[in-house]
Structure 1
C-alpha cells in the first residue's frame, strides 16, 4: 500500500499507510490526517487514487501545497516525491517502495517522536480505517 512518511525539521514523526481511495489532510478534526498547526488550513489537501495513479490536490489552502519545492494545484505523485504542507514534509512512497529509494531527505536515524509541543502543533491525528471499512476513530500520534 502507498504511504506517507511525515516529518518536521528532519525528524520522522509518523508513517501513514494510504489504505483509502481518498485521504484528506488538514487542521480540522474530520480530516483523515489532522495536523493541528496554524500554517495548515482546515481542509488543506487531498490524496486520491484514480485509474491506479495517486494524485495530490490542494483544496484552496491559504499557504498552498508544494511537491519537490514547486507549488501545485493538482499533481500526479511519484514514489519519492516530497510534499510540503506548512512546515511539515510528507515523503510519498509508492506500493512496495522503501524509504531508501531515490534521494531521501528525511532523517530516519532519529527516534520516532510521538507528540510535539512548543512552536509545533499540539498533536497530529491519523484516522484509521476500521475493520468494517469505516473511518474508525482518530489515533493520536502518541
Structure 2
C-alpha cells in the first residue's frame, strides 16, 4: 500500500511493505514525518488479511475519520470512502495495494501538481 500525508505546503509519501508501519516525528518510527503537528509516535497502520487498519498512538493532535477523533490505541479499518485527517493538518491518502488505481477519497493523482491535488482534497 502506498500512503500520502498532504496539505497545501507538504506532501509526504511512503510505501508500506510490512504488516505494521509506525508513523511519527521521532526517528525510531518506520516513517518519520518531520512536522511539528505530528507527535513523536502518532499512529500505526496495520495490514491483516489484505485489509488495512489505523491506530492512534495517543497522539496530542489525534487521528480523525470523517471528522470524528478516533479512540487512542484502538484499531479502525481504513476504507477508501473515508476522510482521514492526521493532526488536523494532513489528509491521509492511500492506494490499497500496489498497482491498484482506486484511491481513498482523500487520495492523490500522481500526475497532478500538489496544489491541484490539495484543492480537490479540500472539497
TM-score by length of 2: 0.71
Once the two structures are TM-superposed, the CA of residue 107 in structure 1 deviates from its matched residue by 7.0
Alignment-derived partner of residue 85 in structure 1: 86
Q: Kindly tell me: are residues 84 and 44 of structure 1, through their superposed partners in 2, closer, same or farther at Cα, counting changes over 3 Å?
A: same
Once the two structures are TM-superposed, the CA of residue 104 in structure 1 deviates from its matched residue by 4.8
Alignment-derived partner of residue 98 in structure 1: 101
In structure 2, distance between residues paired with 1:66 and 1:103: 14
Structure with higher Rg: it is: 1
Q: Could you tell which deviates more after superposition, 48-57 or 17-26?
A: 48-57
Q: Larger strand proportion, structure 1 or 2?
A: 1
Once the two structures are TM-superposed, the CA of residue 92 in structure 1 deviates from its matched residue by 2.3
Q: Could you tell which deviates more after superposition, 19-28 or 60-69?
A: 60-69
Once the two structures are TM-superposed, the CA of residue 16 in structure 1 deviates from its matched residue by 2.0
Alignment-derived partner of residue 125 in structure 1: none
Gaps of 5+ in 2: 116-123
In structure 2, distance between residues paired with 1:106 and 1:4: 10
Q: Deviations over 1:20-72 (max 9, x none)?
A: 11001111011112122221111010001223321100011111111232211
Q: Deviations over 1:64-88 (max 9, x none)?
A: 1112322113310123544322212
Is 1:62 matched with 2:64? no
Alignment-derived partner of residue 29 in structure 1: 27
TM-score by length of 1: 0.63
- SS of the aligned residue for 1:48 comes to strand
Higher relative contact order (CA 8 A, sep 6+): 1
- Measured on the aligned residues, the alpha-carbon RMSD in Å equals 2.6
